[in-house]
Amino acid sequence: MRTLAAVVSDPVARATSDALRRHSGVALTELSAVHGVSGSLALALEAAAMEIPEELQRSLEWARLVHLQTTRALGAVAGVFDSAGVRWAVLKGPALAMLWDHGTVTRTYDDLDLLVDPGDLPLAASELERVGFSHRNRNWAGFRELGVAEVPFDDGSVVIDLHWNVVALAAQRRHLRFDTAAMLDRSVTSNLGGVEVRILHPLDMFAHTCTHAALAGARRLRMLRDVHLTASRVAPAGAAARVSESGVSRLSAGVLGRAVNVFGPAVEPGSQGRGLGSGSALGHRGWVGLSGFVDQAWSRLPGSRHLTYPGAVIAAGRDGTASTLAAMAGLLTATLRSRVGLPNIESEGGKLDWNVEDPPDAEAGYRRYLDYVAQVCA
């Protein structure tokens, strides 16, 4: 894992090349796929003048194709959204890839995430359909029940997730306080692949990246590197204030602590006060210490070096003690259900199964979903 982390941190460094020559290419190739960093490994092998396995070559080709397709889609979407007056910004994906060295191949992504003002959701959806995108979801009853804050679209080559909040489920939003309108107000202009768009302000990008990674358990190097890179662009006081007002300081502290343990202090050379040297820069020292203790214990388990990082403790972090304990209980229950083979919300026929048709028809279900969004965001 340490070698792969070095690859992700600086794939073309001489120290990385030396480390690669001491390890099994097969094991690293398999581990890089698990952690979503196959592109970084391919680039590192190329820099070390070592053979690049066929599966890594395919990963590079796929990453380049996805980048080109996403850029094409982004250009089309930007044109219609801006003309229609939709308030929107790009989340994750290409917005994070631009922070990575050689990000078009090292920071891969499967879809294009866009944040829109909740009031603009119906208009944004209509504009996507106008440029060839279709709804992927038909299970609007499940989406309403779970309070899903993203609507998936597809044009046959690119998947777009249209978000009206950066936290996907209502149960999670109960304790997390992201204000979509304020985030869009603070968004900044950026050029992604030749397309002029808006992306989140660095402080919002940091808070959102930490939250997204932490709720998923921060188990993979790609997520941890995202956190590390966004942390290097913010000042400690501003970062602490933003995650606190968003209700994600404990979530963010835990995942930042892991990212710093893996990649080192998140401080860019010559950054003039920007960057976070440790997870405790956000407070919650006890929580950061607990997360670090769990990671150390996990690393000593037989064979654990071949696994992802443990996720439950980091994912359970909430700013209140009672809400943290409740989140931990929910995570443990979900894990136990999965271990014994019981269905979950993503199982076939579950509340997040896109193929479950909402009676009497999907169109009526979609209208009810839009009514739900308007009601909760009023």
Segments making up each domain of the chain, as ranges? 1-52, 71-199+345-378, 201-342
Whether 5 and 261 have beta carbons less than 8 Å apart is answered as no
Write the CA distances from 339 to 27, 50, 328, integer angstroms: 26, 40, 16
Whether 162 and 153 have beta carbons less than 8 Å apart is answered as yes
* Helix ranges (DSSP H) in 232-350: 236-245, 249-263, 285-299, 312-316, 321-339
pLDDT score for 358: 64
pLDDT score for 263: 95
Q: Residue 297 has which token pair?
A: 């214990």
pLDDT score for 359: 62
pLDDT score for 186: 99
CA distance 123 to 115: 13
* Cα within 13 Å of Cα(219), Cβ side: 14
Per-residue pLDDT of the chain (378 residues; tens, 9 = 90+): 889 999 999 999 999 998 898 887 888 999 999 999 999 999 999 999 999 999 999 998 999 999 999 999 999 999 999 999 999 999 999 999 999 999 999 999 999 999 999 999 999 999 999 999 999 998 999 999 999 999 999 999 999 999 999 999 999 999 999 999 999 999 999 999 999 999 999 999 999 999 999 999 999 999 999 999 999 999 999 999 999 999 999 999 999 999 999 999 998 766 666 788 777 889 899 999 999 999 999 888 876 555 799 999 999 999 999 999 999 999 989 888 888 888 888 777 777 787 776 666 778 899 999 999 999 998
- Of 137, 134, 162, the closest CA to residue 150 belongs to 162
CA distance 273 to 104: 28
Whether 241 and 279 have beta carbons less than 8 Å apart is answered as no
pLDDT score for 269: 64
Write the CA distances from 98 to 226, 262, 352, integer angstroms: 11, 21, 31
* Residues contacting 175, CB < 8 A, separation 6+: 247, 318, 319, 320, 323, 327
**Complete DSSP assignment for 10-68:** -TT-HHHHHHHTTS-HHHHHHHHHHTT-HHHHHHHHHHTT----HHHHHHHHHHHHHHH
The domain made up of 71-199+345-378 is a member of CATH 3.30.30: no
Residue with tokens 């388990």: 301
Q: Residue 271 has which token pair?
A: 């950054």
pLDDT score for 272: 66
pLDDT score for 10: 93
CA distance 204 to 188: 11
